[in-house]
Amino acid sequence: MQLEPSLLALLVFSVLVLVLGLVLWAIKKPAGKAVTAMGIGLVITFLFYFAFVASGVYGKPGAESGYVLNILGVMVLIVGAFVAIYYIKKARTLQAES
Amino acid sequence: MSGDQKVKGPWLIATIIVAIIAIGLSIWGAITFATEKEWSWGKATAALGFGTWAVIGGILWFAGTAFFIMELAGFTIYNRKLVRYKLNWDSIDISIVALTAAVYGGALAATGGLTIIPGFTWIRPANALTPVFGILFGIPGCLGTAIGNFLADAFAGYLGWGSIGGFIGNFILAYIPYKMVSDPSLRSPKAWFELYVSIIIGSIWCSAYISWWLYVWGPQVSPWPLVGLPAALVWGWFFPFVIVNNLLVSAILSGPITYILYPVVKNWGLLWTDRIKISS
């Protein structure tokens, strides 16, 4: 798989953000966790991108691919929201107990 | 007439006026976009010239980037002063980032096929969520919005160097309402006035931010172009369309959604006012 320059630059940028976040976190700077969360988000996005390229769903009109990317979007919304709410509930319970 | 009513009256009138401007402008933009062969808004923005937009966009880009870095570094503007703030970035804050990113990214991706400018933008009703996330969740909500937009770019097949502009541009779209709306509950006419004004400013700022990024990395400006959109299309098409795309749904839906969600978010202890401490 060969990346075009625009995407390669973006991938390098995403990895640099993640590394910067981890370094800031390690030296206990206030921005460390936020920048790390940002970097993880960017890198996870690239994982989705590579999976879509490998599966061949890119470049096809929605109807031709069975609207698979739109359906996946809805799944990310539902699963992401449930997982995040679960962790928020769990964290609140732990904070209340401590 | 009580003193309270005297105060509320002018804010109510001002709110109605600014709401009519925001909703009217966005509907006018959408109708002309759909019906005119050569879009009058595009012709109007392009007529100002690339030089003018390069300067205006540049100022907004540098200011927007400064706000983004400043907030991540733990500084904010409070009562017109630059102050330090403390956000723990504990598991709840990180979960808020994940929640807003998943909901915004997923909702944007759901309409990913409704393309307007191939490779750059599409019809995005989920944009209505950006002011909601900013007003209720603060910086974690703004950051989640930025990540969600990036994720949606990948789902829509638009991921590229331009996505960095979209990342911070969407952060700003949530950030301006976060900083401008003084009462997140929206239980006063003043708060609604601030909401509409912030939606107009945020929509224009977000669009100018992304457009300037696409312009400077485009074929007419950059010696190493990483974005393929010509300058005429950036300022005469993309820029006004993104304003309309942001404004239309936000002006109509963001207020009611924020109003309904506020009690839930407050009860769960997720409201930004309960989670940050202004240090000095």
pLDDT in tens, chain B (280 residues): 555 666 778 999 999 999 999 999 999 999 999 899 999 999 999 999 999 999 999 999 999 999 999 999 999 999 889 999 999 899 999 999 999 999 999 999 888 767 777 767 778 889 999 999 999 999 999 999 999 999 999 988 889 999 999 999 999 999 999 999 999 999 999 999 999 999 999 999 999 999 999 999 999 999 999 998 999 999 999 999 999 999 999 999 999 999 999 999 999 999 999 999 998 6
pLDDT one-digit tens code per residue, A36-81: 999 999 999 999 999 988 888 876 666 666 688 888 999 999 999 9
Residue A63 confidence (pLDDT): 64
For residue B126, give how far its alpha carbon lies from the nearest alpha carbon of chain A (Å): 11
The CA-based angle A59-A64-A65, given to 5 degrees, is: 70
d(CA B120, CA B229): 9
| B85-90 long-range contacts, CB within 8 A, separation 24+ | B85/B276, B85/B277, B85/B278, B85/B279, B86/A30, B86/B276, B86/B277, B86/B279, B87/A30, B87/B138, B87/B139, B87/B140, B87/B275, B87/B276, B88/B275, B89/A30, B89/A32, B89/A33, B89/A34, B89/A37, B90/A91
Contact A80 B226 (CB under 8 A): no
Residue pointed to by tokens 């097949």: B157
Residue B124 confidence (pLDDT): 86
Task: Among A1-5, A90-94, B215-219, name the one with the lowest average pLDDT.
Answer: A1-5
- What DSSP character marks residue B222? -
Residue A58 confidence (pLDDT): 77
Tell whether B90 is within 8 A of chain A (Cβ). yes
Q: In whole angstroms, how large is the CA radius of gyration of chain A?
A: 18
Residue pointed to by tokens 């400018």: B117
Residue B54 confidence (pLDDT): 95
Q: What is the pTM of this model?
A: 0.93
Tell whether the model's pLDDT for residue A97 goes beyond 90. Answer: no
The arithmetic mean of pLDDT across residues A14-36, rounded, is 94
Would you place residue A92 in the very low, low, confident or very high pLDDT band (cuts 50, 70, 90)? confident
Are residues A22 and A36 in contact, defined by beta-carbon separation less than 8 angstroms? Answer: yes
For residue A19, give how far its alpha carbon lies from the nearest alpha carbon of chain B (Å): 16
d(CA A71, CA B112): 10
Tell whether B106 is within 8 A of chain A (Cβ). yes
